Amino acid sequence: MSLRALIVDDEALARTRMNRLLSGDPEIEISGECRNSREAYAFLSSQTVDVVFLDIQMPGENGFDLIEKIGFRKMPVTVFVTAHNHYAIRAFEVHALDYLTKPIEQERLASTIEHVKQRVRERTGEHPSVSYRGDLEETLRSMLASLGPSSQTVSYTKRLLVPDGAKTTFIDVETIEWIEAADYYVRIHSGQKEFLLRESMKDLAAALDPSRFVRIHRSAIVNLACVREVFREGRGDGTVVLSGGRRLPMSSVGWKALLASGRS
């Protein structure tokens, strides 16, 4: 089967990479590329595609705004793309369609494309026993209610999704002891295991419940349940000792964050 695809992403390099990855499938035809929600709305209003690879966060109107403007019933099969892992896992929890976290790996994309092809077959009636359109509308409505900018309820990540080639690992955040910065990644320490996730410390800290996780240093986030002792050296920096004996650096800002968490 032949699938017409639209790529929507504000980053030129991201669009180029997605185009290159998709071109490896002879059944995928790139119908267009858009830099923002406004361009994508104009494109989808005048042309028909089978699948949209849609970035969530874009300047101005985001991916959710595009869905609302186009309308649930008129949206093609949608694969959401995000650089921030916590968007993906929250959407997964409300049974969203397909999600790709940047940087996108070829094996992961291939799996997604197979899923997309199945959805398109369902939509076009090759497998009429499946109610595709109703499921799509309900999924998008649930997702927008959970993640959209109009949502008034703060929801923190309960699980992290860590892709590793064709394998994806789900980590319950309550099992995480501490997290350390590792260049463009973070290293998650959970029991005797370590996991590497492409996410910034800032974005990950914002996705975690601040009553349970505190950034004690620019390079460390700790699970408060795992903190055994805190040592301060005057009014400056200090050290946090975890229940397993691991000693982590603590800045003066981190100390204030610990105090604030204790009062909350």
Closest CA to 243 of 171, 195, 176, 181: 176
Q: What residue spans define the domains of the chain?
A: 3-126, 159-262
Q: Whole-model pTM?
A: 0.54
| Rounded Cα distance, 118 and 98, in Å | 12
16-30, 138-152, 230-244: which has the minimum mean pLDDT?
A: 138-152
Domain spanning 159-262, CATH architecture: Beta Barrel (2.40)
pLDDT of 53 higher than 90? yes
Token pair 């320490």: residue:
189
> Residues in the chain, how many?
264
pLDDT digits (tens, 9 = 90+) for 242-261: 999 999 999 988 988 888 87
Report the CATH fold assignment for 3-126: Rossmann fold (3.40.50)
Closest CA to 194 of 171, 167, 225: 171
For 19, phi then psi, to 5°, come to -60, -45
| Residue 147, both tokens | 């993640």
For 7, 54, 117, 151, the CA distances from 51, given in Å and listed in that order, are: 9, 9, 9, 26
Q: Which residues pair with 179 in a beta bridge?
A: 188, 221
User: Is the CA virtual torsion 17, 23, 27, 30 positive or negative?
Assistant: positive
pLDDT on residue 115: 84
In one-letter notation, the amino acid at residue 31 is: S
User: Mean pLDDT score of the chain, rounded to an integer?
Assistant: 81
| Residue 84, both tokens | 């921030």
| Rounded Cα distance, 107 and 25, in Å | 12
Q: Where do runs of H (alpha helix) occur along 5-58? A: 12-22, 37-46
Whether residue 144 contacts residue 73, with contact meaning beta carbons closer than 8 Å, is answered with no
pLDDT on residue 96: 46
